[in-house]
Amino acid sequence: MKSNNWRIQNGEMKKWIPIDDLPQTIYYEHTLDNSYGITLLFSDIIGNKNIEVIFDSGVLSYRNTDEGSLFKTLSFLKKHMEQIFIVNHSEYIDWFNKESISIY
């Protein structure tokens, strides 16, 4: 059985399946960041099904990077880039906690 967890530098990435009928392959469309929260929009392979992931409260920080610029992890991303991940124990979260004096 194939694992949905991958080790990364100082952490772990896990495939996130937020809904039961999530298409096998999804494509990122855009991010909307406003006073109501953050919305990530994805579509299926033929573009007729939109999937919205809405974080409507409590978003304190996030990072958005064009995956084509991530040369060290590009081969991994090419194999898994149609997926959404949760990252545990990330250097980014460690940095945010230090900057916010770990009050969150």
pLDDT (tens digit per residue) in 7-55? 555 667 788 877 788 887 888 899 999 988 999 998 988 877 888 989 9
Whether residue 62 lies inside any domain: the answer is yes
Whether residue 69 lies inside any domain: the answer is yes
Whether residue 4 lies inside any domain: the answer is no
Q: Which residues make Cβ contacts (< 8 Å) with residue 3, sequence separation at least 6?
A: none
Domain count, the chain: 1
Domain carrying residue 82? 19-99
Q: What is the pTM of this model?
A: 0.69
Whether residue 11 lies inside any domain: the answer is no
Instruction: Tell me whether strands 84-88 and 37-44 are parallel, antiparallel or unpaired.
Output: unpaired
